[in-house]
Amino acid sequence: MAHPPSPGIVDLPEGLQEIISRRLMHAIIDGSLPSGEKLSPTKLASEFGVSHIPVREALAALEAEGYVRRAPRVGFFVAELPTDDVGGVYHWRQVLEDEAHRIAVPRLEDSDLARMRKLNDSINRERESQNRFLDLNREFHFVAFGKAGSEILLRLLNQLWDSVARYQKTMDLARVSRAVLRDHAALIEAFEARDVNLVNALMAEHRGLVPQSTGKITTRSTRAAAGA
């Protein structure tokens, strides 16, 4: 069972449970821990160099977030991808992202637009690396979200993006990368014009790239989500 390395974990400033939970979540998202794999608290505690208590707390937290399932008297397993949840996640992404843009777009500065352009150039250069491509894509969108100035909104959006990250890993990157870059260029123009309605209309289409590529959302859910 492959896990990310954890040297010096006890020296980090966060609580052990949060550190372990985040690292396991990332391993689940990037596929290092595949769906259905059994997670042994004893082995994980040994790998992280900690007692089993923070490991069990981390697994319980991941179970609550849907990344892990617990089978009574058997143990913990990486949860399967729940396709029936995807439409709901994309729906709430649309609701919150539309509101974030309404607040943020008037606050955007030239430096924010320059950062978006730079990130889109980097995305173009990283089209062969799915992990890097997705990280940069997320950073691109959170430039605007961050200008809304709400930590609560950012936390909720990050949770929703985390929820669909596993699905993004299954998309056909070669198929969607050109569309992503095209959409980003159009979004930058709309941001520059400070046209909130156009930004949200473009995002409704852009948001649909992953569901369409992975085939994980039904027609009804795609309409509800109306849209990476």
CB neighbourhood size of 203 (10 A): 23
How far is it, in rounded angstroms, from Cα 178 to Cα 182?
6
Per-residue pLDDT at 55 exceeds 50: yes
Which of 1 and 158 is assigned the larger pLDDT?
A: 158
CB neighbourhood size of 79 (10 A): 18
Res 196: pLDDT:
98
**Average pLDDT of the chain, as a whole number:** 84
Q: Where are the alpha helices (DSSP H) in 49-129?
A: 52-64, 83-104, 110-125
Q: What is the mean pLDDT of residues 23-37?
A: 87
Res 16: pLDDT:
86
Question: Per-residue DSSP letters for 2-70?
Answer: -----TTGGGSSS-HHHHHHHHHHHHHHTTSS-TT-EE-HHHHHHHHTS-HHHHHHHHHHHHHTTSEEE
| Cβ atoms 112, 194 nearer than 8 A | no
Q: Any bridge partners for residue 68, and if so which? A: 78
Compute φ and ψ for 31, nearest 5 degrees. Answer: 90, 0
Residue with tokens 């430039």: 143
pTM of the model: 0.74
Per-residue pLDDT at 198 exceeds 70: yes
Domains of the chain: 9-78 (1.10.10.10), 83-225 (1.20.120.530)
Q: Report residue 12's pLDDT band, with 50, 70 and 90 as the boundaries.
A: very low
Q: What is the mean pLDDT of residues 12-25?
A: 80
- pLDDT, tens only, 95-151: 999 999 999 999 999 999 999 999 999 999 988 888 889 899 999 999 999 999 999
| Cβ atoms 227, 204 nearer than 8 A | yes
Q: What is the mean pLDDT of residues 68-75?
A: 93
